[in-house]
Amino acid sequence: MRNALRLVWFDLKPELKPPVWIIMEWVVFLVQVGVYGAMLSQLVTGVENYNRFFAVGLIIMITFDMASHTGRHFVEHAHEGRLPYLLSLPISRAKLFMAICLQGGTELALMLAVPLSVTFLIIGNLTWMSIIACVLVLFWLGFGVAGLMLGLSFIAFKSSDLYTAIVTGLSTVIIRFSTVLYPFMFLPAQYAIPAAFSPLTYGSDLVRFILGFDPTLLLNPYYAISILTALSVSTLGLGVILIQRLVEGVKSA
Amino acid sequence: MYAIETKDLTKRYGKTDALKNLDFTIDENEIMVLLGPNGSGKTTLLLILATVLKPTSGQAKVMGLDVSTQSTRVREILGVAFQEARGFWRHKPADILKFHANVCGVPKSRRDSLIDQIFKDLELWEARNKLFMHLSGGQAKRLEISKIFVQRPKFAILDEPTSQVDLRGKRQIWAQILKLREEGSTILIATNEVREAEYLADRVTILDKGQMVVCDTVRELKDSITGGDIVELEVEAADPRSLQQELSQLEGTVKIASPNSNMFKAYVSMAESWVPRMTDICYRKKARILSIRVTEPSLDDVFLHFTGRALGETPNA
């Protein structure tokens, strides 16, 4: 496991020198909540204090983006010729997969540090337990989506363009047809059906439930926990199997 | 036990056989050079042995370990220098080598001094703290192969180790490869540079269209070409025609031409035994030898002899 952790740190170090993209993400979040969210709050009347609802939605979107980034990272490794090197290191395939996920998780933690703190501050009156539970749910969701994207990356291995097209299309559908930005009960039937299949629906409603949002606006939390667990276990399991059985360095490298 | 052994090894990409039923062995502490044109299956074989690619069928073993079923253990004893170093854009050479040394279990006590020494030996010292993306092609290549010299694995795989490197750099790398072998490593090199193969190889395997054409020492391969040695002879003889006739009947002579009365160009097998016999004849015939020049066939000629094509030619699919 030590080698897997070394790999995580080796990959992460250049990203932090300097951490421009992380800081940019924080700034974008603050502007979104401070300006756009505050204005939307005035327009939306069906949800009390919509800005809080919106802030949680943004955090879910960051989680999704980071998880997609992890999958993209893997495809890029393959196409930049780095994957053969990683595959030749004395690290088992399962641990290599875990290292990639762990790196994604660490980047997610860095990315969410400020947005989460601000959201907790806006919501106020939180216990340590609810904060920890919220962070765990976000990571669970992140691992599930990362597993899904890594699974897709194996399928789209022959072309990073194909992977980009699939993920862009998927993110358009998964984010818009979900409860990230609006409660499930307000969705028209034709939107509610696809939203029920989006993992972000369950992630965002579960986080909101933990943070004390009105439960009548949210889906059943036990149902959400079951769906997220099933997603994470199945996609991570699939990823481990795929990396052990299928992944080979791109030959041209 | 062989250090490396493949049996019926086949790798197929779609309908193309990159390797076809390859049976191949390398002895321990041997430098084996794979020679072949682009697309002959050299890199595919290396990547299978490095456990990066999976064979379609057949078996490959590294130090007795199966590359398919014991891949993690295989990776613990091998080191690979790939054809191109890519994908480390935002890392510095010093960090890349340090990471590689740590992951490959180089003891911390000698890691830093070893890395510094390799940087100096391969003239990368000045570049050690530049970003990888700012290195020249030759520097990136030298960095790639430095990983092997820092790791010092039991089995080293080098894919075109000196491509893009200048002649001085090539000599430095060759010296390091020979030093690695002296320390007990088994080394497999893929190249299409004839000079590199001749300089380093204990044995050469010629691959063509995914199949092994021939495998032997450089000397044996060269000697296997009938009439491959060329002897250019300048003499002062009273009767050049009778001398030519007698030389053409000498054992080992394939063809003899005489561009002018005192010059002979003989195509012979085993020039080292042909020349003394030739000098005896000249002595008997009272012909005065002014000069002798012996040219042996290159591995290019060997490749041409066995495949019917020059090394640089692309095989027809």
B230 in the same domain as B198: no
Asked if A3's CB is within 8 angstroms of B86's CB, the reply is no
Burial (0-12, 13-18, 19+ Cβ within 10 Å), B198: middle
B163 in the same domain as B29: yes
Per-residue pLDDT, B317: 41
By residue range, what is the domain housing residue B66? 4-222
SS (H, E, C) B31-57: EEEEECCCCCCHHHHHHHHCCCCCCCE
Arithmetic mean of pLDDT, A144-168: 75
Asked if A77's CB is within 8 angstroms of B51's CB, the reply is no
* Inside any domain, residue B195: yes
Question: Which of chain B's residues have a Cβ under 8 Å away from the Cβ of A87?
Answer: 50-52
| CA B297 – CA B312 distance, rounded (Å) | 16
Asked if A92's CB is within 8 angstroms of B103's CB, the reply is no
B178 in the same domain as B100: yes
What are the two backbone dihedrals, phi and then psi, of residue B89, each rounded to the nearest 5 degrees? -45, -40
Q: Is B246 left (phi over 0), alpha (psi -120 to 50) or beta?
A: alpha
Asked if B78's CB is within 8 angstroms of A88's CB, the reply is yes
Quote the tokens at residue B241.
């025609």
Question: How many domains does one find in chain B?
Answer: 2
Nearest to B67 by CA among B52, B87, B86: B52
User: Does position A253 have pLDDT exceeding 50, yes or no?
Assistant: no
B278 in the same domain as B179: no
Cβ contact B106:B150 at 8 Å? yes
Per-residue pLDDT, A106: 86
Asked if A3's CB is within 8 angstroms of B87's CB, the reply is no
B163 in the same domain as B77: yes
Residue ranges for chain B with pLDDT beneath 50: 317
Cβ of residue B43 closer than 8 Å to a chain A Cβ: yes
The CA–CA distances, whole Å, from B271 to B218, B237, B266, B268, B299 equal 15, 22, 10, 6, 16
User: Does position A158 have pLDDT exceeding 70, yes or no?
Assistant: no
* Inside any domain, residue B302: no
Q: Any idea what the CATH number is for the domain that residue B19 is in?
A: 3.40.50.300
Residue spans of the domains in chain A: they are 2-245
B232 in the same domain as B178: no
B199 in the same domain as B173: yes
Asked if A90's CB is within 8 angstroms of B76's CB, the reply is yes
Asked if A6's CB is within 8 angstroms of B87's CB, the reply is no
* Inside any domain, residue B126: yes
Mutate to test the interface with B, among A2, A6, A7, A10 (most CBs of B within 10 A): A10
Q: Assign 3-state DSSP to chain A and report helix, strand, coil percentages, each to 5.
A: 80, 0, 20
What is the rounded (10 degree) CA torsion for A36, A40, A42, A43? 150
B234 in the same domain as B91: no
Question: Which of chain A's residues have a Cβ under 8 Å away from the Cβ of B51?
Answer: 87-88
Question: Which of chain B's residues have a Cβ under 8 Å away from the Cβ of A81?
Answer: 82, 84, 86-87
User: Does position A248 have pLDDT exceeding 70, yes or no?
Assistant: no
Per-residue pLDDT, A252: 39
Per-residue pLDDT, B229: 84
* Inside any domain, residue B310: no
Q: Is B214 left (phi over 0), alpha (psi -120 to 50) or beta?
A: beta
Cβ contact A89:A10 at 8 Å? no
- What single-letter DSSP state applies at residue B315? P
Out of B18, B51, B102, name the one closest to residue A88 (CB). Answer: B51
B110 in the same domain as B92: yes
Helix (H) or strand (E) holding B145: helix B137-151
Task: List the Cα angle A138/A144/A150 in 5-degree steps.
Answer: 130
Q: What's the whole-number average pLDDT of chain A? A: 84
Interface of B with A in 251-280 (CB under 8 A): none
| CA A133 – CA A152 distance, rounded (Å) | 29
B278 in the same domain as B147: no
Cβ of residue B105 closer than 8 Å to a chain A Cβ: yes
Domain boundary among B197, B222, B247: B222
Chain position carrying tokens 């421009």: A20
Chain A residue at shortest CA distance from B12: A251
Arithmetic mean of pLDDT, A63-88: 80
Strands (E), chain A: none
Q: What is the pTM of this model?
A: 0.80
Q: Kind of pairing, strands B78-81 and B16-26?
A: unpaired
Cβ of residue B87 closer than 8 Å to a chain A Cβ: yes
* Inside any domain, residue B55: yes
Question: Which of chain A's residues have a Cβ under 8 Å away from the Cβ of B103?
Answer: 3, 6-7, 89-91
Cβ contact B24:B5 at 8 Å? yes
* Inside any domain, residue B9: yes
Q: Any idea what the CATH number is for the domain that residue B237 is in?
A: 3.30.70.1340
The predicted-structure confidence for B266-288, as pLDDT tens digits, reads as follows 888 888 889 999 999 999 988 89
Chain B residue at shortest CA distance from A15: B90
* Inside any domain, residue B312: no
B130 in the same domain as B14: yes
Q: Is A241 helix (H, G, I), strand (E, B) or coil?
A: helix
| CA A211 – CA B153 distance, rounded (Å) | 54
What is the rounded (10 degree) CA torsion for B106, B109, B112, B117? -90
B126 in the same domain as B24: yes
Question: Which of chain A's residues have a Cβ under 8 Å away from the Cβ of B87?
Answer: 77, 80-83, 85
Mutate to test the interface with A, among B103, B106, B151, B157 (most CBs of A within 10 A): B103
Per-residue pLDDT, A251: 45
